[in-house]
Structure 1
Amino acid sequence: MKKKRVICAMSGGVDSSVAAAFLKKRGYDVIGIFMKLWAEDTGQKKENICCSREASTAARKVCQKLDIPFYIVNFAEEFKKAVVDYYIKEYEEGRTPNPCVICNRDIKGQILMKKALEIGGDFLATGHYVRIIKKGNRYHLLQSVDKIKDQTYFLWTLTQKNLAKMLFPVGSFTKLQVREMAQKWHLPTAERKESQGICFIPDRDVSGFLNRYAKKLTKKGAICDINNKKIGIHNGLINYTIGQRERLGLGGPKSYYVVELKVEENILIVGDEKDLYKKKLLATDLNWINKPSKNIGARIRYGHPIEECKITKIDRGKTTVTFQKSQRAVTPGQSIVFYNQEEMLGGGFIAKNT
């Protein structure tokens, strides 16, 4: 019987390395594929973290160790258009985006998936910490065994069509177990550190990046308290997000937090920490992997606890979400992701808090 072929997305990290090794040991015909993504050309050596020379070299060495083919695909143009331009535009509209969500939807879920199928793949595998099971004719996405590393929050845009062709081998293990497997199998990436931050902003200077590329919300304007009293000057709304406390330029002993960005008036509203708490939000662009149940919870950012909530009738991809407890710093542009216990059901984008 012909082996099932799996195209494994290789990042040069330990998770995707173990995913590839695990699949080969399970009898799959594995091919490693490394994505070359967009990196800012500033005249300095600023490589995209996810596709640096170091990362590609590490991925290649793993594939050599496993004796599997290794290919590099250049998705720089597609990544710039789908992810980077989206990221800049969202900030220009006064929202705080999560580029990983869009990358998983448009790059991995569509462009890379298409490439995987074109080269004869039966499945696309990644090193995400999630689990997938099939019940009847439907696929269900579950939180990983390692709840700290769980990445279901970033995958709410996937569809049943995606899941039918995807494998997530490391989701059934803890990070410690993944490291131990890498060491046991003598993989070159066994001790490689994890990359953190936004991959196309390697120096982590988000403000600097936005001020180089954004064309809106860069002008100075008034900082007002929640009673609309002017108390300072901001450096352009592009530099602020809900819940921010640092770099506000407000003197005195009192701590202020960003509560709202009034884009039309170019005003930054600040207040006390208690002013950050909201019970309701409007979610848009909803995607349901499986239908919501009566007992539903949601998280409003990565790493945030899943909190009980209720959703109103869904209309044209929109719904109002009401939490049982007030949530801190509900931020437009971020994702709200819905759960029924361990299962991630779907999600949407936060349009506004109310």
Structure 2
Amino acid sequence: MRVLAAMSGGVDSAVAAARAVEAGHDVTGVHLALSAKPGTLRTGARGCCTIEDAHDARRAADVLGIPFYVWDFAERFTEDVVEDFVAEYAAGRTPNPCLRCNERIKFEALLDKAVALGFDAVCTGHYARLSTVDGRVELRRSADDGKDQSYVLASLTTEQLAHAMFPLGGSTKAAVREEAAARGLSVAEKPDSHDICFIPDGDTRGFLTRRLGEQPGLLVDDETGAVLGRHAGVHEFTVGQRKGLGIDAPAPDGRPRYVLSLEPVSGTVRVGSAEKLAVTEIVAERPVSRIEWDGPVECVAQVRAHGGTAPAVAELVDGSVVVHLREPLRGVAPGQAVALYRPDPTAGDLVLASATITTTR
């Protein structure tokens, strides 16, 4: 097959490309330039997509002996990921930019261009597994639970998955680093990126304030309605947040307060006890499903990239997915994705569906 390997400049994508070459595919490497003004140097695990990352990707391609290109996707990335991120926070929701990037950049914009140029698949360094049943491609968790990225890939369609390749799905991160060193790849010990790539300093609040400006509002006790303080905008908060609330006086019972809900129109941030964060029902829209909804489905629901899972029963009601959690989850916010899995410890839990959370109860 003709394979386009998306090479970020990190160890995972470099080893994924190497395995595609070793499997006998005709591989071409490409680095996506996602920033109009990329930083010159990377600092530790802060961000990605810098000039240094592009150089690392090129050096890896040279070691593998494959053609290498840099494609400018900055405008598309800004519109579909960065602007979406800002708009979601302004609306009081909590988006996942990595999920959006996979959905709209790597497996929409990049994949569309790859197919148009005659490539059969896009290869990435994601930790997830693919299997084929009756000619249909299915997405599963990776072998390394700590690195599993099936959650941020769960919104991909069956057609997109049919053109995807995840060579690292059956490996652990430690094994990937060892392999990179053995192959002579200089990125073998390069730190992983743990931050939002377009906010390399890690200051999400500052980034949003610069984009949205100050939009003053009130911090209100959800139980009593008492005003506890003021804030510069609902975009500074997320549901479940405990620190940085700017409340001077402790709760009457001495226990910490948490953000329970955000009301962007009135500018109200409601806070209360941890117990009030417990969610037992989730309603989500725009489902991407790999099952036929002919009734309630037993599953495991996941609401965060790592953690936030509970056994559940899900059903499709008037085009929305309603998830009834058998165990309550905390910190579930509108704008997040909920991914549904069928447990399978042998082959990897199977992704059944993904949808965007609108309300919780």
Q: TM-score range by the shorter chain?
A: over 0.9
1:346 paired to 2:344: no
For 1:112, the equivalent position in structure 2 comes to 110
Counterparts of 2:79 and 2:314 in 1: how far apart (Å)? 33
AA partner of residue 29 (structure 1):
D
1:246 paired to 2:243: yes
AA partner of residue 317 (structure 2):
I
Counterparts of 1:260 and 1:40 in 2: how far apart (Å)? 35
| Counterpart mapping for 1:179-328 below 5 A | 179-214=177-212, 218-226=214-222, 227-253=224-250, 254=254, 255-291=256-292, 294-316=297-319, 318-328=320-330
Match of 2:84 among 83, 86, 99: 86
Retained in 2: the 8 A contact 1:40–1:200?
no
SS in 1 for 2:356: strand
Runs of 4+ that moved beyond 6 A: 44-48
Once the two structures are TM-superposed, the CA of residue 155 in structure 1 deviates from its matched residue by 0.8
Once the two structures are TM-superposed, the CA of residue 114 in structure 1 deviates from its matched residue by 1.5
Once the two structures are TM-superposed, the CA of residue 23 in structure 1 deviates from its matched residue by 1.1
What runs of 5+ residues in structure 1 fail to find an aligned partner?
none
1:252-304 CA-partner distances (Å, limit 9, x unpaired): 34421111112222111110111111111211111113446732111111111
Once the two structures are TM-superposed, the CA of residue 85 in structure 1 deviates from its matched residue by 0.7
The count of aligned residue pairs is: 346
Counterparts of 1:283 and 1:46 in 2: how far apart (Å)? 40
AA partner of residue 338 (structure 1):
L
Q: Identify if the C-alpha distance between structure 1 residues 312 and 294 changes in structure 2 by more than 3 Å, giving closer, same or farther.
A: closer
AA partner of residue 336 (structure 2):
Q
AA partner of residue 229 (structure 2):
G
1:312-335 CA-partner distances (Å, limit 9, x unpaired): 33322x122110111111111111
1:31 paired to 2:28: yes
Q: Percent identity?
A: 37
TM-score (norm 1): 0.93
Counterparts of 1:108 and 1:335 in 2: how far apart (Å)? 18
1:103-145 CA-partner distances (Å, limit 9, x unpaired): 1111111110022123321111000000001011211111000
Once the two structures are TM-superposed, the CA of residue 240 in structure 1 deviates from its matched residue by 0.6
Counterparts of 2:311 and 2:127 in 1: how far apart (Å)? 23
Q: CA RMSD in A?
A: 1.8
Counterparts of 1:31 and 1:69 in 2: how far apart (Å)? 5
Q: Identify if the C-alpha distance between structure 1 residues 88 and 40 changes in structure 2 by more than 3 Å, giving closer, same or farther.
A: farther
Once the two structures are TM-superposed, the CA of residue 45 in structure 1 deviates from its matched residue by 6.4
AA partner of residue 330 (structure 2):
R
Counterparts of 1:144 and 1:158 in 2: how far apart (Å)? 16
| Counterpart mapping for 1:169-188 below 5 A | 169-188=167-186
Counterparts of 2:211 and 2:160 in 1: how far apart (Å)? 33
AA partner of residue 300 (structure 2):
G
For structure 1, which segment, 148-157 or 221-230, has the greater mean C-alpha deviation from structure 2 after superposition? 221-230
AA partner of residue 23 (structure 1):
A
Counterparts of 2:269 and 2:310 in 1: how far apart (Å)? 29
Counterparts of 1:302 and 1:234 in 2: how far apart (Å)? 28
1:129 paired to 2:127: yes
For 2:2, the equivalent position in structure 1 comes to 5
TM-score (norm 2): 0.92
1:331 paired to 2:322: no
Match of 2:16 among 19, 37, 46: 19
